[in-house]
Amino acid sequence: MNSLITNELIKTWYRNRVKMFLIVMTALYLIIAFSLRFFMNENAIPTAGSFLITSQTIINGTFLLFYGVIITTSSITSEFHKGTIKQLAIRPISRVKILASKLISGFIALLALMVLYNIVIYLVSVLLFDASNAPENLLVTALTACLYKIPVYLFYLALSVIIGTLFKSTIIAVVLFFVIDSVGGMVTGLITMLEWNASYFIYPNLMLESYSDNTLINDPNMQGLFGAGESLTFSLMIILVYSLVLGAIGFFRFQRQDIA
Amino acid sequence: MSSKPLIVRNLTKSFKRKTIIDDLSFELDKGKIYGFLGPNGAGKTTTIRMLVSLLHADKGDIIVNGYDLKKDRSNALARIGAVVENPEMYNLMSGMENLRHFARMHKPKISQERIDELVEFVELKGAINDKVKTYSLGMKQRLGIAQALLHKPNVLILDEPTNGLDPKGIRQLRAYLRTLAKDEEVTVLVSTHLLSETEMMCDEVLIIQDGKFVKQFSVGEESSDKTVKALFRATSNEELIPVLEEFGTVEQDHKYIVLSGIQQEQIPTIIATASERGVLLYEVILKDTLEDQFLELTGGESA
């Protein structure tokens, strides 16, 4: 299994141009951070705390998640498009293991990027911006915010697996990602308006930050906007159930299908 | 353990209620090269895909070195090496990275020495660290063969391996396969539509049509008791025709005189008779006998 994951990580490095992603993302982030710090009106410069949490929301919640979805989906779809899936499926290794190695390596790649970028985010926030009046310990805040994102990553990668195996299309995965990300709130609102219980819908349960008592992570002004689920454990269970069901369908499909 | 490296029994597969492979059975022997022939749509590729577990058979058994592909998938697949259709590789990685990638998928671990040995064998040493996207089709084919041999399989399956190869490449491939069959006792199953190629490359021929088994025979053996065709070119073709007409049916080609319906053993007599009558021969070509047999067996459709 380890060697399969090694294979997948190597292919990801080449296929998804990780080097390019790292360079562009880091450069953009640094340019934005420096512009905010040095070209903005003195009074409007954000504090370290708010810069930290905004960066994390944008990078962890959108860019990395999005990239992780692409990495995982394309690790499945590109094998089909290029025909290399045949070379994998004729090895004395079960198809379940092949797909599992793709899911796990997608997760590893995403976590590695998360660790890397959050170190950058933390350092930039603390070194460039004013951290003297922070209401919370910024290091603890940065770590906690990351932890809240991990179950969300799990859900989206399970979604990637099912889309990769059922539709063999990275584009559908990308579109669905944006749909869930942007329409999810509206649908939740709609369900609530119709006085149905939105707790079992996945979207509100992905807002794990709303369970935090850290005032930076769980901004009181934002509370209730998305109609959070019932409790942290409840939301984690919902995420787990959705992920398992999606993953199981994907694995079942991959196991049974004829490769032409 | 069965002594046969590959046994196929009552294999059946349908797509959308259309039967593609119909109760197909055959057995292959150790260290022989088999040509897998059939008209287009006969089910060659479908059969091959079932042999390597890309497609699931509806019915029937595939037994590789005594291991049932259905019940003991990884043991069976560990003994098969294959290139199915085009040798698709990871284009952004080098040839060596591709080989290492596939090597990691086998147990026990495949040594770097084994990889180097194969690179040497398929003569890719100079280009092995270049990205695969820079490779010619012939080089990709050779890399494909190398990756199929990494784990020292007992059975090597090649689907249309001569597609897109130039004559030199085809000759090389023939040499590789001969060496493998002779020195390492690998059983090779080659699907192809080039009959002349098959005749030169293979020990035995396996013909299927409409998903059914038609015939399996040795390439050399069968042709001796069959009637054959021969092409003649003489100092004077006009004078040769009456001579040949004594032996069989004569047709005039643009360059050759085609004599059909003769036995292969008659040819020396024919040559002697012609020279006795003062007609001297430049060339006598024994025509592609496999092609004739093939057409006869499959009812005239081309391969």
Residue spans of the domains in chain B: they are 6-218, 228-287
Say which residue, A110 or B294, is predicted with more confidence. Answer: A110
**Angle between helix A65-82 and A95-128 (nearest 10):** 150
Pair B53, B223: CB distance under 8 Å:
no
Q: How far apart are CA A7 and CA A16, in angstroms?
A: 14
Q: Where are the beta strands (DSSP E) in B109-219?
A: 155-159, 187-191, 204-209, 212-218
Looking at the predicted structure, is the pLDDT value of residue A193 above 80? no
Closest CA to B49 of B21, B23, B26: B21
Q: How far apart are CA A155 and CA A176, in angstroms?
A: 13
CATH of segment(s) B6-218: 3.40.50.300
Q: Return per-residue pLDDT of chain B as tens, 303 residues.
A: 457 899 999 999 998 888 889 899 999 999 999 999 888 888 888 999 999 999 988 999 999 998 999 999 999 999 999 998 888 899 999 999 999 999 999 988 899 999 999 998 888 889 999 999 999 888 888 899 899 999 999 999 998 887 777 788 888 888 888 998 998 899 999 998 778 778 888 899 998 988 888 888 888 665 456 677 888 888 888 888 888 888 888 888 788 888 888 887 888 888 888 888 888 888 888 775 677 777 777 776 444
Q: Which of A86, A105, A256 has the most B C-beta neighbours within 10 Å, making it the best mutation to test the interface with B?
A: A86
B43: helix, coil or strand? Answer: coil
B44: helix, coil or strand? Answer: helix
B171 touches chain A (CB under 8 A): no
Closest CA to B24 of B11, B37, B14, B6: B11
Buried b (16+ CB within 10 A) or exposed e, B266-275: bbeebbeebe
* C-beta atoms of B54 and A82 within 8 A: no
* C-beta atoms of A90 and B89 within 8 A: no
Look at residue A156 in the predicted model and tell me its pLDDT. Answer: 92
Look at residue B222 in the predicted model and tell me its pLDDT. Answer: 53
Domain B228-287 - what CATH class? Answer: alpha beta
Provide, as residue numbers in chain A, all residues whose Cβ is less than 8 Å from the Cβ of B55. Answer: 258-260
Pick from B75, B76, B101: which is nearest to A7 by CB?
A: B101
Pair B63, B7: CB distance under 8 Å:
yes
Pair A95, B52: CB distance under 8 Å:
no
Pick from A10, A93, A258: which is nearest to B74 by CB?
A: A93
Look at residue B247 in the predicted model and tell me its pLDDT. Answer: 86
Q: How far apart are CA B128 and CA B95, in angstroms?
A: 5
Give the pair of three-digit tokens for residue A112: 């590695």
Residues 133-162 of B with CB under 8 A from A: 147
Look at residue A23 in the predicted model and tell me its pLDDT. Answer: 95
Residue B254 DSSP code: S
Looking at the predicted structure, is the pLDDT value of residue A14 above 50? yes
Q: Where are the beta strands (DSSP E) in chain B?
A: 6-15, 18-28, 33-37, 59-64, 67-68, 80-83, 155-159, 187-191, 204-209, 212-218, 227-234, 249-252, 257-263, 281-286
Look at residue B93 in the predicted model and tell me its pLDDT. Answer: 93
* C-beta atoms of A11 and B93 within 8 A: yes
Give the pair of three-digit tokens for residue A120: 């950058």
**What chain A residue is nearest to B55 in terms of C-alpha separation?**
A258
* C-beta atoms of A91 and B55 within 8 A: no
Q: How far apart are CA A173 and CA A169, in angstroms?
A: 7
- Residue A48: CA count within 13 A, CB half-sphere: 21
Cβ-proximal residues to A177 (8 Å cutoff; 6+ apart), any chain: A65, A66, A69, A156, A159
* C-beta atoms of B105 and A10 within 8 A: no
In the sheet that B33-37 helps form, which strands lie side by side, from edge to edge?
A: B80-83, B155-159, B187-191, B33-37, B204-209, B212-218
Provide, as residue numbers in chain A, all residues whose Cβ is less than 8 Å from the Cβ of B105. Answer: 3-4, 7, 88, 91-93
Provide, as residue numbers in chain B, all residues whose Cβ is less than 8 Å from the Cβ of A83. Answer: 85-86, 88
B104 touches chain A (CB under 8 A): yes
pTM of structure: 0.83
How many C-beta atoms lie closer than 10 Å to residue A50's C-beta? 14
B111 touches chain A (CB under 8 A): no
Say which residue, A223 or A151, is predicted with more confidence. Answer: A151
Q: How far is CA A46 from CA A2, A50, A137, in A?
A: 44, 6, 17
Peptide bond into B108 cis (omega under 30): yes
For chain A, what is the radius of gyration of the CA atoms?
20
Pair B79, B153: CB distance under 8 Å:
yes
**Whether complex ipTM tops 0.90:** no
Strands B33-37 and B204-209: parallel
**Beta bridge pairs of residue B131:** B94
In the sheet that B227-234 helps form, which strands lie side by side, from edge to edge?
A: B249-252, B257-263, B227-234, B281-286
Domain coordinates in residue numbering, chain A: 2-256
